[in-house]
Structure 1
Amino acid sequence: MEIETRDIERIVRQVMAAMEQQGTIAGGAYPPAPGITAPRGDNGVFERVEDAIDAAWAAGRVWAFHYKVEDRRRVIEAIRVMARENARTLAQMVRDETGMGRVEDKVEKHLAVADKTPGVECLTTDAISGDGGLMIEEYAPFGVIGAITPSTNPTETVIHNTISMIAGGNSVVFNVHPGAKKCCAFCLQLLNKTIVENGGPANLITMQRDPTMDAVNKMTSSPKIRLMVGTGGMGMVNALLRSGKKTIGAGAGNPPVIVDDTADVKLAARELYWGASFDNNLFCFAEKEVFVMEASADGLIRGLVEQGAYLLTPAETEAIVKLALIQKDGKYEVNKKWVGKDAGLFLQAIGVSGHENTRLLICDVPKCHPYVMVEQLMPVLPIVRCRTFDECIQCSVEAEQGNRHTSSIFSTNVYNMTKFGKEIETTIYVKNGATLRGLGIGGEGHTTMTIAGPTGEGLTCARSFTRRRRCMLAEGGLRII
């Protein structure tokens, strides 16, 4: 059997990485990880967060000093292959453990992050050459990143963050949501095996087997972790921002949709049905409420029903409010037991039978209705009638609540599209399409599971998890003119 040169290089790198992490290599062209013997875990899963941090720190040193950008590219391509091959397995595991969403939609999400999460290709170098010398600016790693992930898109976020963060030259310690710890551990172990089998260092990504808030506190206080990344609710993001550690925060959203009097209501109905029902509306950027001008309202509702949506009566709407929302101190919050559940289960629970395969519930409600103002993460889409376009904008801004996350509009009026975009200020703004398209699912652009609206990075990629560094060669160096 012939062994190609690249195979020999991969084997040598794998052996060298293992030796350095065990502290058996000293000296050489690059510094080893000094003063530490990397703890041994279960393919990246550790019982203590301290060991997970130490192992990721040791692996990160190896990754940064002994691997080239082309090595990162090769490992990431192997991760993409692994993620595609295991998309259905992971989707089923997530559904089984969390009890949320739809398997077929979760498969599509896993394929999206595998195929459309950018790797090293977005780490471009800028150069300026002049009489004063040569200047280059490049994207360098932070080091170890602490990443908090949600239960709504657990393994999808782990895969996306892994690709983006190791492409930037970093290692990662995850603290996953406790409600998805088993599927995340399985996914992380698959990723680690893939990295090692393709010549990368062991423990480049790690996690504590049983995630806790104490582990998060230890991550934020550890000097080995240089950057925190939080994907989930605003409470978690704000806590990380207060930690004193540099933070990239991807918080909550309550995305409004406007359908004006110039809209193609059949298109709007088709796209809204797809987007709002996708994975039972678990995406934070999915359509959560619609503000429609009176001239288009009846046509939109009729079109949604034709697509397969179930129009709730006022009595049924209020029955589901009592089921899915909890009133506390005069305010409503989500009943977590119903997050991401099938629409048919809602109907069954309020005594409506024969609609087990229904994907989306719609209701005609006033603008002050709790469904409008609460980010519910359920396949229930409230529709609010408005007299004017300006009223649609005002209601949308109030419902979005300053999250600056996602919004969309269905219109053929360029002025209306422009005005709403300026007023709403969201990170993602989609025109005449489901908000899924704004994330590259059925649309252009890359996919991410970490949409950093609160801290301004936007749709994150490898570049988001790097430091901008400048290198200057003075005295006209390297110029030939």
Structure 2
Amino acid sequence: MQLADKDLISIQETRLLLKNAKKAQVELAQMSQCQIDRICKAIKDAAMANLERLAKMANEETGFGVIKDKIIKNYFASQVVYESIKEMKTVGIVSSDEVKKIFEVAVPMGVVAGLIPSTNPTSTVIYKALIAIKAGNAIVFSPHPTAQNCIIETVRVLKEAAVAAGMPEDCIGCVTEITLEGTAELLKNKDTSLILATGGEAMVKAAYSSGNPAIGVGPGNGPAFIEKSADISLAVKQIIDSKTFDNGVICASEQSIIVEKETEAKVIKELIKQGCYMLSQDEKKQLEKIMMTPKMTMNPKIVGKTAAYIAEMAGIRVPGETKILVGVENRVGHDVAFSREKLCPILAFYIEDDWQKACERSIEILNKEGVGHTMIIHSQNQEIIKEFALKKPVSRLLVNTPGALGGVGGTTNLIPAFTLGCGAVGGSITSDNISPLNLLNLRRVAYGVVELDEIRKNVERESKGQLARTVSRDVALDQAVEDKLDRMTDVIFEKLRNQLNI
């Protein structure tokens, strides 16, 4: 019987990819660290040889972002990620402690399901392929339907190079018949060992409710607080650099600016000087009409577009070189568009009385959306930075750096990654920037160091000691009570003698 319906074809393709990947992964798991590393280098080299071509494909197919920035993201996902993981021990015995007599063996998860978003399609494929294979796992990719061609081509390029370097052929696979039913099969299939989910909130929730282990990323909605001690000119530059990088599609990018009232004028002046456009209240209302869909989800038509393009969509006239559209806001909520995640060059602007109020406002924003993800602070006051670190419900607090590149480890020493865990508060299994170490288990081999008889003797000795200490304490207390009664009796008799003049 030949399948005709697309959903059935997609499900069957997914099942076959998983079945073959599971068999191939058994072979991959037998390889040495040297062999695994050779495959990873081949993946990196293939990506590096195709940086520009894949970036152009992603831009042309999705209409998102900036080609030159997508080239940088592909470079980051290949060369930078590779350099960060190449010395990791991920095969065989990875650590040992002679004193405690324990050693640890790396155990691959098995088959990873890699969900790929349309915002960072080619770079996310490169990154996930590298970390999955480095950890000894096979990976089956599920492309976003609006970026399927560039994703499928990226997978083809990487797989070809990896197989030539010795990888079992089916360790990297990609669904080509893309349907919701096929994606659901990938998430729920018994051959899926772990889901690595990067995408919209609905997709991440589906991953966590699939019944299989999952590492997902919730929405980013990071506020950037410019505290009064900051270098305001530099802070504004870094925010603009971040929010205009690939037109703001990286989820760690800033979504709002919070300032103290005393620096409000200075920050606004600097924003305008560096190419931002401050919206009037009427213009802000016009823009709000196109920022969200009727269901109050992000309008895909503005994602990854330039500020000038978005302004024209909204019927607002701005200079052609405008970098970011900025709107003053004083509310936070699901139906307040400017307080939500905006994967494009739009920023909310909040004005607060002092840093304590700014702290409260940032928590309010994050708790409505973006909790567990990322926040940015620009400050030279270490005490205030520490206060923010102690209280903000985020997994990454970035200091004096652009949010987009700081969060993924480009301008900070965080682990380079395109999957950013949001911790339990954000509904994620981890708060890490995801690396190969998150994609393997550790088998702990522990030698016996004590016998049961010895444990019994220790317990008996401790019990007797505790009993002796208790008795001693009780005797001491009894003596203390007796001494106190004697003193009280002496006092009473002394008073009686005095009264009777004896």
Q: Please state which band the TM-score falls in when normalised by the shorter chain.
A: 0.7 to 0.9
What amino acid sits opposite 2:389 in the alignment?
Answer: G
**Could you tell me how far apart the structure 2 residues matched to 1:377 and 1:445 are?**
22
What amino acid sits opposite 2:262 in the alignment?
Answer: A
- Check whether the contact 1:139–1:463 (CA below 8 A) recurs between aligned residues: no
What per-residue deviation string (whole Å, max 9, x for no partner) do you get for residues 256-291 of structure 1?
111122221111111111011111111111000111
Aligned partner of 1:270 among 231, 234, 237: 237
Residue 352 of structure 2 corresponds to residue 386 of structure 1? yes
Which residue in 2 is equivalent to 1:302? 269
What amino acid sits opposite 2:400 in the alignment?
Answer: N
What per-residue deviation string (whole Å, max 9, x for no partner) do you get for residues 186-235 of structure 1?
00000110101222221211111022221222223322221112112232
What amino acid sits opposite 2:67 in the alignment?
Answer: V
Q: Which has the larger radius of gyration?
A: 2
What amino acid sits opposite 2:286 in the alignment?
Answer: A
What amino acid sits opposite 2:345 in the alignment?
Answer: P
- Check whether the contact 1:371–1:382 (CA below 8 A) recurs between aligned residues: no
Shift of 1:385: 0.7
**Could you tell me how far apart the structure 1 residues matched to 2:449 and 2:263 are?**
67
What per-residue deviation string (whole Å, max 9, x for no partner) do you get for residues 35-79 of structure 1?
xxxxxxxxxx998111211221122111112x2111111111122
Aligned partner of 1:291 among 248, 258, 261: 258
Which residue in 1 is equivalent to 2:454? none
**Could you tell me how far apart the structure 2 residues matched to 1:193 and 1:85 are?**
13
- Check whether the contact 2:110–2:193 (CA below 8 A) recurs between aligned residues: yes
Which residue in 2 is equivalent to 1:437? 406
Shift of 1:351: 4.0
Which residue in 2 is equivalent to 1:464? 438
Which residue in 1 is equivalent to 2:419? 450
- Check whether the contact 1:123–1:138 (CA below 8 A) recurs between aligned residues: no
Shift of 1:354: 6.6
Larger RCO (alpha carbons 8 Å, 6+ apart): 1
- Check whether the contact 2:11–2:181 (CA below 8 A) recurs between aligned residues: no
Shift of 1:311: 2.2
What per-residue deviation string (whole Å, max 9, x for no partner) do you get for residues 397-453 of structure 1?
111126210001011111111111221131111111111223222332331111121
What per-residue deviation string (whole Å, max 9, x for no partner) do you get for residues 358-413 of structure 1?
33222222234824421121210111111121111111111112621000101111
| Between 192-201 and 362-371, the greater mean CA deviation after superposition | 362-371
> Where in structure 1 do 4 or more consecutive aligned residues deviate above 3 Å?
350-357, 472-476
TM-score, scaled relative to structure 2: 0.80
Which residue in 2 is equivalent to 1:414? 382
**Could you tell me how far apart the structure 2 residues matched to 1:403 and 1:222 are?**
30
- Check whether the contact 2:398–2:407 (CA below 8 A) recurs between aligned residues: yes
Residue 23 of structure 2 corresponds to residue 58 of structure 1? yes
Which residue in 1 is equivalent to 2:459? none
Aligned partner of 1:404 among 372, 382, 400: 372
The alignment-based identity, stated in percent, is 26
**Could you tell me how far apart the structure 2 residues matched to 1:81 and 1:230 are?**
25
Shift of 1:308: 1.8
Shift of 1:314: 2.0
**Could you tell me how far apart the structure 1 residues matched to 2:328 and 2:374 are?**
22
More helix per residue: 2
Residue 56 of structure 2 corresponds to residue 89 of structure 1? no
Runs of at least 5 residues in structure 1 that lack an aligned partner in the other structure: 1-44, 477-481
**Could you tell me how far apart the structure 1 residues matched to 2:153 and 2:68 are?**
20
Match runs of 1:25-424 below 5 Å: 48-65=13-30, 67-117=31-81, 118-123=84-89, 125-130=94-99, 134-328=101-295, 332-352=296-316, 355-368=319-332, 370-401=336-367, 403-424=371-392
**Could you tell me how far apart the structure 1 residues matched to 2:161 and 2:341 are?**
37
Q: 1:168 to 1:346 in 2, by over 3 A?
A: same
Q: What is the DSSP-based 3-state SS (H/G/I as helix, E as strand, rest coil) of the residue aligned with 2:350? A: strand
Shift of 1:139: 2.5
TM-score, scaled relative to structure 1: 0.84
Aligned length: 426
What amino acid sits opposite 2:434 in the alignment?
Answer: T
